[in-house]
Structure 1
Amino acid sequence: MAEPTAAARIAGAPISWGVSEVPGWGYQMPLGTVLAQMREAGLAATEFGPDGFLPDAPRDKAAALTEHGLAAVGGFVPVVLHESGHDPRPEVDRAIDGFLAAGADNLVLAAATGTDGYDARPELDAGQWAVLLRRLDELAAHAAERGVTASLHPHVGTVVEQRGEVDRVLDGSAVPLCLDTGHLLVGGADPRDLSRSAVDRIAHTHLKDVDGALAERVVAGEVPFGEAVSQGLFQPLGAGDVDVAGILADLSAAGYAGWYVLEQDIRLAGAPDDEGGPLADVRASVAFLRDRLAPAPAGGRAAQARDHAVTGGE
């Protein structure tokens, strides 16, 4: 069977509709509205979102997506990995059960701190780092045995946020990466640098664009992450300061065959109206991405993308 085209691998995530695992995050849009708007925006699939968004039973999760014509990608699973007395496997297995029931095969791990929210995080000692790296390899192997690909998502407010921590994971484990173009930038790293230097470790991609000036204030500790999201930290693709086009060119040149998951983290103060709600931003991001993933004749945009990847866009 032929591989799906890149444009057919554009997926969404409930966080683009303000649906989050963080207590008190904001207004949570109802399931049926979110899934219907995903299809209206032209998305082919979705990640699961936080516990409680989709029905609890694995088969019911699958049925909810099928009802709206959406395939399942997998999902974001934050678990504590650095505490020697805590076994994250039961949490991971519960998530995998739901993935498999819906035909999904992507487990997106985050190295959770063990506290709610993403505004503060601990510094790990050498022993905790050793536990975390060992657990990542163990969970990746366990997921593979169940037919699922695990990747680590560097995420603001988790144990693996900054570039030095990402490098420590790359050097100390074999787990693949989820390249999140927004969280890397807000964590003080250049996502384009990773799409060049570590593209062989990228198994999954979350695409975000970012208000660079606001991100600098988060990095400097002037604005908490959650408040920055409320102020518009994340933008539709092409409207911010991430070199999304260059990253797409790097992935394409490397033969990346995974999902492109659109994630524009937002916080809603209340139910959005039809004109200014999340759907408009998602549509803009889909249009941006489809245009850059569309096949081009030899010597056309595809060749230009390869040149862009080789020269760094200079």
Structure 2
Amino acid sequence: MTELGDRLSPDKVKLGVCCTLWWNDDFPAIDADISFGQAVSEMALAGFQGCSIGHKYPSDAAELKAALELRGLRVSEPWTSTYFTVGRMRQKTIEAFEQTLRHVKALGGTELVVAEFGASSHLLPVDVFANRPVFTDAQWDDLTSGLEELGKIANSAGMKLSYHHHMGTGVMTRADVDRLLASTDPELVHLLLDTAHIAFAGDDPLDLARAHADRIGHVHLKSIRPEVVRRVRGEGLSFQEGVELGVFTVPGDGAIDFRPILEVLADADYQGWLVVEAEQDPNKAVPLEYAKKARAHLADLLGW
């Protein structure tokens, strides 16, 4: 175990992996016909302790929990999209969140991840930068008050809510993240640090981690390929086109140096999930190969 691994030890952090290495939940056509069973078996084989929930997973909590436990896995997070910034969606958003909470609680999970997708450009075949929403002050108020309401619901259930800044959305850049965190109660709304989404947006993930280390409640570790980022910007490509071109990759590949980011987390006594992610086309990037590459890179940094 390294000095860094002593401070981010197995009793403090858990290593997970997102199923987006095996298929894409935003764009189901990006698929290599890999089954749920194969995917979770490969997650365990690569050496991970947990995983996110994807669209190929069994919907029955007991069935899913049994399948994960068989492989020594736990649920690292579910995903719930919020729609607080568009009309007549507040109550529907809260109800969807509560349904997700009940499901993940039945699975023994404690983490909840959300992102505001009101008017998002990331699912559309349009320039992801030029067409992402810019919220009005009223929309920001609707978003932050809504997130705090979800945070209260999560806390009352013994769960933790973390907000995921995301390409193509109204909370995409460092300035957006700063505003969201300044406008929400730190006891209710934590930050999901996604190293690649903030880098894709044009900001520095290390600077973001340093600035908000005390708010980080969940971490997605993924890297970027800068030449693809430049192409997406220069050619006005969509988020899907960027994914298909390989804009994202795993730690141990791409341009992001993860050691200083993990040092910041260690200095802040971070405790929680470190989740490897890379939305890649599994027909081009063999999922098990990239999962093992990422796990080996983390083992080199942490010593475990």
Task: Please classify the TM superposition score into its range, dividing by the shorter chain length.
Answer: 0.7 to 0.9
* Aligned residue pair count: 286
Contact 1:28 1:268 in 2 (8 A): no
Report the Cα offset of residue 228 of structure 1. Answer: 1.6
- The alignment's TM-score, normalised by the length of structure 1, stands at 0.84
Which of the residues 120, 123, 133 maps onto 1:117? 123
In 2, Cα distance between equivalents of 1:213 and 1:21: 23
- State the match for 1:69 in structure 2: 72
> More displaced, 78-87 or 200-209?
78-87
Contact 1:188 1:219 in 2 (8 A): no
Aligned: 1:210 with 2:214: no
Residues 136 and 8 (structure 1), Cα distance of their counterparts in 2 relative to 1, 3 Å cut: closer
Contact 1:186 1:216 in 2 (8 A): no
Residues 151 and 103 (structure 1), Cα distance of their counterparts in 2 relative to 1, 3 Å cut: same
Report the Cα offset of residue 125 of structure 1. Answer: 1.6
Of structures 1 and 2, the one scoring higher in RCO (CA 8 A, sep 6+) is 2
In 2, Cα distance between equivalents of 1:227 and 1:127: 32
Residues 81 and 220 (structure 1), Cα distance of their counterparts in 2 relative to 1, 3 Å cut: farther
Residues 113 and 29 (structure 1), Cα distance of their counterparts in 2 relative to 1, 3 Å cut: farther
Structure 2 runs not aligned, ≥5 long: 1-7
Contact 2:84 2:143 in 1 (8 A): yes
Aligned: 1:281 with 2:290: yes
In 2, Cα distance between equivalents of 1:241 and 1:28: 29
Alpha-carbon displacement from aligned partner over 1:2-37 (angstroms, at most 9, x marks no partner): x96169611111001123133534445210010110
In 1, Cα distance between equivalents of 2:12 and 2:153: 31
- State the match for 1:19 in structure 2: 24
Residues 221 and 132 (structure 1), Cα distance of their counterparts in 2 relative to 1, 3 Å cut: farther
Structure 1 runs not aligned, ≥5 long: 296-314
- State the match for 1:264 in structure 2: 278
Matched position secondary structure for 2:56: coil
Report the Cα offset of residue 141 of structure 1. Answer: 1.2
In 2, Cα distance between equivalents of 1:280 and 1:268: 10
The structure 1 segments of at least 4 consecutive aligned residues displaced by more than 4 Å after TM superposition are none
In 2, Cα distance between equivalents of 1:199 and 1:293: 19
In 2, Cα distance between equivalents of 1:103 and 1:185: 32
Matched position secondary structure for 2:272: coil
Q: Percent identity?
A: 29
Alpha-carbon displacement from aligned partner over 1:294-313 (angstroms, at most 9, x marks no partner): 27xxxxxxxxxxxxxxxxxx
Please show how residues 68-147 of structure 1 align to structure 2 within 5 Å: 68-83=71-86, 85-86=88-89, 87=91, 88-113=93-118, 117=123, 119=128, 120-147=131-158
> More displaced, 97-106 or 216-225?
216-225
Alpha-carbon displacement from aligned partner over 1:40-64 (angstroms, at most 9, x marks no partner): 1011111112xx3221222222222
Which of the residues 19, 27, 40 maps onto 2:45? 40
Alpha-carbon displacement from aligned partner over 1:243-273 (angstroms, at most 9, x marks no partner): 211101111111111111000111245xx7x
Matched position secondary structure for 1:9: strand
Q: Which amino acid aligns with 1:81?
A: F
In 2, Cα distance between equivalents of 1:203 and 1:7: 13
Residues 250 and 206 (structure 1), Cα distance of their counterparts in 2 relative to 1, 3 Å cut: same
Report the Cα offset of residue 216 of structure 1. Answer: 3.1
Contact 2:193 2:216 in 1 (8 A): yes
